[in-house]
Structure 1
Amino acid sequence: VLERLSVARANGHRVFGVVRGSAVNQDGASNGLTAPNGPSQERVILQALANAGLSPSEVDLVEGHGTGTRLGDPIEAQALLATYGQDREEPLWLGSIKSNIGHAQAAAGVAGIIKMVQALRHETMPPTLHVDEPTPQVDWTAGNISLLTEPRNWPRTAGRPRRAGVSSFGISGTNAHVIIEEGDPTPAPAPSEGPTAWVVSARSERALYAQAARLADWAERTDPDPHDTAVALATQRSRFAHRAVVTGSDVAHLVAGLRDLSTTGAGVSGPVAVLFSGQGSQRAGMGADLPGLDEVRQHLDIHLGDR
């Protein structure tokens, strides 16, 4: 979602990133339908920097077009070396989202922008995958540029915001370059309140109790946020046939439940009830077609009466 910065501020919207500058050109003299033009790429980068009122050394990272071809990559790298790679103490870091998702065609440029906004938010320069070594077809000593072959912390530079350039080059010689600047800081998470549930699972009952003991040991050592841990256990761990859940409002209660589970196998088991609550936006009566709902209703009516 794009808004003018003044409008976003007036509306109280959090700003995830700012388009500091941009430029588009068309070389019109390509030697083929898809062959890139190096001087035109240099010009579009310098035009975007001028539009942003920045020098090349004030940009930390470039999300390259990165076609992965023997023709396009050397031309792009040489244009970056001639512009961003000069007169800087820290290297310009270079990556490309195409190593993550492949070539997204018309969406490649905006995919790069999304990647850079997320990188700025997380203060991390994401790596370019599948890079064994820089292409030998480029003289990398001609400027100060380094490939992102592993994640890097991206702390704020004293006196200025963090910034990234995004390049995207289209068929028939169209070149675009956008400079993205960091937006508002990520707000600190609000403290979580109320009870939560920790899920453990394993391939056997014995392994389940051992897993509960290990989780209890870890929680006592680290005193984690109980709600963050609940999310991680529910979404980032494998789910096996043997499972258990402990509930509590703080780490001490949750650890006590894990200890009971690991030493005595204490737990609660019984029938499972399913509530078809819906979202409120479906058609009226759609749940009536669910198999067995009439039988469920008969059991509930005994307890609910006219409510």
Structure 2
Amino acid sequence: MATRLPPVHALSAFEAAARHGSFAVAAEELCITPSALSHRIRLLEEHLCERVFLREGRSVTLTEFGRRYLDVVRAALRTLAEFPLPNKAAPNQLRVKVTLPPTFARYMFLPRLAGFTTRHPDIEIEIFLFVPLYDLSLSESDVEVRFGGGEYPNLVTKKLFVEPAFVVGSPAYLKTIPPIKTPADLQHAKLLRSALEPWQPWFEVAGLDWPEPANGLRLDDLGLLLEAVKHGHGVGLTRLHFAQEMIDKGEVVRLFDVQLATPPHAYYLAHEAQPNMRPEVATFIAWMLETFQNGTQA
């Protein structure tokens, strides 16, 4: 019968924290955030069904079980580290882990990433995805881009840009419904819904005393919402950077001149406050702010 082993990354976090007597110093050594290291320790303790550390404020000390377990962990890690790997090179690679919403990653980040990698070829970027408004922890990333209201306790946040929201529909779909000439004519259309791009603030700007739609197709990814518009499932709210290519190709058309200048949600750069931030992370943050705060407004 297979034996369930503890995750190696949790064991290395445990060994580093025990050696330094500090989660913060251990996290810096492992190039992760303190919260990520705490998560790994909790994962190990849940696996063992035992506490390995006693936490008193910012200080941590090993429990009696933790002291005995540390000897076993160190022996196991030493065996793994010393096993000869003749084809394995071990460069000291600079690396930044960044977590992004899928639509931002697809339409905005990847088209501009060469501007960073060309300038800093020695820094490797690792990209992770998460669903806005749902995944609310930095996990093991160094930096996140979040799409939301910007209120993230205990994190350093900077708004990247504000972009107006407007209504689009596909030419094929618009031919199947009565003419849409004014915002009030949207009563004849299917309104695609998303928690990320609510309709009610746009209704107010358009002079419509309408509540938020409660029925119809809902998509909590702005890229998927735009694809749903393209394929004729209804009309939806979008932003220029996402829709520009489809508009240029004639796959979707903008309806009305009405736009919501400051939507309730925007893109924010978020990271934990770190007194000794790694240089490559600071370099990446500076590039993000330079690229998106100065060069993306519509």
TM-score (norm 1): 0.25
Higher Cα Rg: structure 1 or 2?
1
